[in-house]
Every structure is written in structure tokens, then in C-alpha cells.
Structure 1
Amino acid sequence: MFTGIIEDLGIVTKLENEKENLHLTMRSKITHELKIDQSVSHNGICLTVVHIKDDAYTVTAIKETLDKTNLGDIKTGDHVNIERAMKLGDRLDGHIVQGHVDQVAVCKSVEEVEGSWVFTFEYDNALNNITIEKGSITVNGVSLTVVNSKANTFSVAIIPFTYEHTNFNTFTAGTVVNLEFDVVGKYIKRLYDINAISS
């Protein structure tokens, strides 16, 4: 379980394919605090640490993960949003994030406005995921508030701190990102759909 509050921007130092799996080696300032078998969020994807050496660690993504996220497009040198699992008893500064990506979206526009940035994203609504105005959304692992919610698009406003300390500063029109929709909203939507079918 995560909060969507990013701890570090890791750098991809090595990518290695093994059958249908992808091993990603990251360099991060929090590597020395990690341990083997620990869950860490990478751009919102919960992955398990399998190897640690010096200031770098390795995680493995299976085919299912590669098919549903933007990890298949990642390159050596890319910056990745990193967050360790939350501790019980900590403040929940973001929202409840599982680290299970629902689908990807495409950045449609980036607008700089009076000291902040507005990013607009478009996603395939055939998967029945929804956003609501002022609801929570996780974009590449970052906990954010939805503005301008529509059937298959939404926007988020990014303050300078978030812009500087996450990989949002690399997004342009066409960038593919990972989305995790609000877990409470997903359950309510599912119950509504079941009731609508049975009526």
C-alpha cells in the first residue's frame, strides 16, 4: 500500500530481458534503505526488489505488468518516480494507492499558468474506469486531484515542488503514463454496474 507521495526520482541504469520478463536496475538515494523482497512503487507500479548492489537495485516486471503499463517504453537514463510502501501509523498525505496500474493514458497537453502547470490526459473509457471532479487519481505513482473530469479525459494541476521532484517535468504531448483510479471509486462503480445489470 502506498500514498502517492514520491520519495525520489530514480534513474534507470540497466534493462535486461529474460524470456517475457524485464529486469530494471535503478540508481536511487534510498537504495541503502531497501532490502530484498521489499515492495517499491515505480511510476505507480508495485515491483519487488530482487537484487541490491551499492547504490543500485533491481526489480522485475512480468509480461502482465509490461502489457498494462508504460514500462515497455522505458529506456536507460529515464527518471522514475519512486515510493516505498507506507508504514502503519504514518500520516496519509496522499490517498490510498495499491500500486496496481489500471491502464495507461496519453498526455494531450501541458499548459503553464501563473506558477503552476495543468496537464490533460486522455484514456480509453471502454475499460469502465472513471474520474470525478475533485476526486483522487494516481498518475505515474503521484497522488493528485482531478480537475475538469470528462468521460475519457481529465486534468491535474501541478505545483512547482511536484513538477521539480517527479518526472512530470519530462511530460510532453504524447507521453504515455500509468493510471491508478481511486480504489473506493472502483468498488462503487463495480457495485453500481452489478446492480444495473441485475435490474
Structure 2
Amino acid sequence: MFTGIIEELGVVTAIEKREGNLHITIKAGMTPELKIDQSVAHNGVCLTVVDIRNSEYTVTAIEETLFKSNLGNLKLGEKLNLERGMQLGARLDGHIVQGHVDQTAVCTGVTEKNGSWEFDFEYDPDKENITIEKGSITVNGVSLTVVNSGKKTFSVAIIPYTYANTTFQDLREGMIVNLEFDVIGKYVKRLMDLNS
């Protein structure tokens, strides 16, 4: 379980494809505090630490994860939003995030707004995920509030702190991001579908 509040940016230092899996090595300041079998969210994808060496650790993304996320597009030197699992009894500063990516979206626009930024996204509506105005969405692991919600589009407003401390600083039009829709919204939609 995560909150969508990014702890730090990690850097991809090695990528190894083995059968259908992708082994990703990341250099991060949090590495000395990690342990084997610990869950860490990488751009919103919950992955298990399988190896630790000095300031780097390795995780494995399986075929299903690569199919539903942008992790298969990673390149050496690329930054990742990192968050360790939430601690029981700690404040929930973002929203409830499972680390299970629902689908990807394409960034369709970035607008600077006098000290903040608005990012526009478009996603495949056939997967039947929805956003609502002022609802929660996780974009590349970052807990955000939806603005301008449409049938297959939405926007988010990014404050300077979030811009400087997440991968939003590198996000450009045409790039693919991971989306995790609000878990409560998903349950409500599922119940409504069952009762209709």
C-alpha cells in the first residue's frame, strides 16, 4: 500500500531482459534502508527488491507488468519516481494507492501557468476506467487531483515542489505515463455495473 507521495528520484543504471522478465537496477539514496523482498513503487508500479549492492538495488518486472505499464520503455539514465510502502500509523498525505497500474496514457499537452504547470492526458476508454472532477488519480506514482475530466481525457495541475521533485520535470507531450485510478471509484463503478 502506498500514498502517491514520492520519496525520491532513482536513476536506472542497468536493464537486463531475461525470458519475459525485465530486471531493472536503480541507484537511489534509500538503497541502504531497503531489504530483499521489500515492495517499492517505481513510477507507480509495485515491484519487489530482489538484489541489493552498495547504492543500487534490482527489481523484476514480469510480462503482465510490462504490458500494462511504461516500464518496458525504460532507458539507462532515466529517472523513476520512488516510494516505499506506507507505514502503519503514519499520516496518509496522498490517497490510497495500491501500486497496481490500470493502464497507460499519453501526455497530450504541457502548459506553464504562471508558476505552476497543467499536464493533459488521454487514455484508452475501452478499458472502462473513469476520472471525476476533483477525484484522485495516480500518474507515474504521483497522487494528484483531477481537473478537466473527460470521457478519455483529464488534466492535473502541478505545483513547483512536485515539478522539481518528481519525473514531471522531464515529462513532455507524446510521452507515456502509468495510471492507477482511484480504488474506491473502481469499486463503486464495478458495483454499479453489476446492478445495471
* TM-score of the aligned structures, taking structure 2 as reference length: 1.00
Equivalent runs, 1:38-117 vs 2, <5 Å: 38-117=38-117
Deviation at 1:166, TM superposition (A): 0.2
Aligned AA (2:109): S
Percent identical across equivalent pairs?
66
Deviation at 1:172, TM superposition (A): 0.8
Distance 2:174 2:191 in 1: 34
Distance 1:183 1:119 in 2: 22
Aligned AA (2:93): D
SS for the counterpart of 1:168 is: helix
SS for the counterpart of 2:48 is: strand
Deviation at 1:163, TM superposition (A): 0.3
Distance 1:22 1:190 in 2: 32
Aligned to 2:119: 119
Distance 2:85 2:151 in 1: 31
Distance 2:59 2:91 in 1: 27
Tell me if 1:132 matches 2:155: no
SS for the counterpart of 2:195 is: helix
SS for the counterpart of 1:121 is: strand
Distance 2:20 2:115 in 1: 43
Aligned to 1:32: 32
Deviation at 1:149, TM superposition (A): 0.4
Aligned to 1:157: 157
Deviation at 1:114, TM superposition (A): 1.0
Aligned to 1:7: 7
Q: Cα RMSD (Å) of the superposition?
A: 0.3
Aligned AA (2:24): L
Distance 1:76 1:97 in 2: 27
Distance 2:66 2:4 in 1: 21
SS for the counterpart of 2:86 is: coil
Tell me if 1:17 matches 2:17: yes
Distance 2:90 2:33 in 1: 17
Distance 1:151 1:99 in 2: 23
Deviation at 1:94, TM superposition (A): 0.1
Deviations 1:3-61 (A, max 9, x none): 00000100000000110100000000000110000000000000000000000000000
Tell me if 1:170 matches 2:184: no
SS for the counterpart of 1:52 is: strand
SS for the counterpart of 2:65 is: helix
Deviation at 1:103, TM superposition (A): 0.1
Aligned AA (1:7): E
* TM-score of the aligned structures, taking structure 1 as reference length: 0.98
Deviation at 1:92, TM superposition (A): 0.2
Aligned AA (1:37): D
Question: Structure 1 runs of 4+ off > 3 angstroms?
Answer: none
Aligned AA (2:143): S
